[in-house]
Amino acid sequence: MTVLCLVERDAEGPADASLRALAFAARVAAAGQAGPVPVAAVLFGPADQVPGDTLAAHGAVSVHVVEPGHLDGYAPRAWARALAGLAAETGAAVVVAAATDRGNEVMAYLGALTGLPVAANCVQAEPGEDGAYQIVRHRWAGLLLEEARLEGSPALMTVATEAVAPATVAGPGSGALPVHPYAPGLDDDDLRVRATETAGHSSGASLATARVVVGGGRGVGGPDGFAPLEELASLLGGVVGVSRVVTSEGWRPHRQQVGQTGTKITPELYLACGISGAIQHMAGCAGAKHIVVVNTDPAAPILAHADYAVIGDLSEVIPALVAALRERSASA
């Protein structure tokens, strides 16, 4: 019996979302009906690049790795085929992945290939006596929680990572993680869809993982109003995010949208400027630790979801804040 957790990688190592999924997997594994069960990470890529220390520190006790000789790059159905094979081989009780584009896609393929149900965007799961799991999952991108019963062996879940923090575990956690190479049996159908990564990877912080996000909404006034927000974000070591109206007006590209149909963010600070706080936007920023609002309207709905507010015009408040930050860094 194991809990398998798909771990995606980015340039720096295991993706932040996958560390959150590992924290979820460790909690599910610890709650096993017949006592705790081990968590095994599943990675795709060269075995000598497995970030063993980080995975061990986050609760994995072993790693299964599918090397490029067997499967090179991302092919969603092939990844699902490998997970299905590993689940059978290890007698996995649960298979989890972060609810990222790839995680959702691979788990949906795994559900389709095995005929098993998949519970997407889980935040909690506890095994019941009959082998089914009592789960809590997001609906409406987290605006609602659903309590549900999930059957299936293994139980397949994706994790709403904006609602589950990464967690390190006490224990050995020092490079001694056993790494098991795995060769999945693949057919042509499994390889019909494969990703080609293209150029344009930004070196800066991504919206999903930024520590500070400066948000801009209708109150910014138009495409020209974002330069001061960009400047502020850069002084705070963060990035700019925008509300849905800003992308549907074409003021900023859709990839900057924070919300149910955009990106879900988990910064330390979300500074929401000229954003009224439609429910679809709040679904994207509920994972922020602190929210500060700058808005002309003291009755804007977003104030009901924020820690602090400054009432005033952006064209006055933002340059003043930028000047104060510059002064502060000059005197430091």
Partner 1 sequence: MEIGVCVKRVPMVGGKIVLTPDEQEVDTRLSGFTISPHEECAVEEAVQITERLGGTVSVITLGPAVAADQLREALALGARRAVLLETDGREWGPIATAAAIVAEVRRHAADGPGYDLLLCGNEAADTGDYQVGIRVACALGWPCVTGIKGLEITETGAGPGARARREYHGGEEMFDFGLPAVVCVKEGINLPRYPSLPGRLRAKRAVIEQHEPQWQGEGLRKRSLRVPATHRRQATVLGTGADAVPALLGVLDEWGVLP
**Which residues in 171-210 contact partner 1 (CB under 8 A)?**
189, 192-204, 206
Q: What CA–CA distance (Å, rounded) separates 163 from 329?
A: 33
Candidates 27-35, 53-61, 83-91, 321-329 — which segment interacts with partner 1 by CB under 8 A? 321-329
- Min dist CB 178 to partner 1, Å, is 29
The site string for partner 1 over 79-108 (x = CB under 8 A, - otherwise) reads: --------------------x-x--xx-xx
Which of 98, 107, 99 minimizes the C-alpha distance to 79?
107
144 lies in the binding site for partner 1 (CB under 8 A): yes
The site string for partner 1 over 12-51 (x = CB under 8 A, - otherwise) reads: ----------------------------------------
CB atoms within 10 A of CB 97: 32
Residue with the two structure tokens 């990688």: 9
Q: What CA–CA distance (Å, rounded) separates 232 from 228?
A: 6
- Min dist CB 56 to partner 1, Å, is 24
128 lies in the binding site for partner 1 (CB under 8 A): no
- Min dist CB 26 to partner 1, Å, is 23
Helix axes 314-331, 227-235, angle to 10 degrees: 30
Q: How long a stretch of residues is the chain?
A: 332
Which of 138, 139, 28, 156 minimizes the C-alpha distance to 83?
156
Candidates 43-51, 83-91, 218-226, 286-294 — which segment interacts with partner 1 by CB under 8 A? 286-294
Given 49, 88, 298, 326, the residue binding partner 1 (CB under 8 A): 298
CA torsion through residues 225, 231, 248, 197, sign: positive
222 lies in the binding site for partner 1 (CB under 8 A): no
236 lies in the binding site for partner 1 (CB under 8 A): yes
Given 158, 161, 243, 266, the residue binding partner 1 (CB under 8 A): 158
**CA 227 from centre of chain:** 28
The secondary structure element, H or E, covering residue 63 is strand 62-66
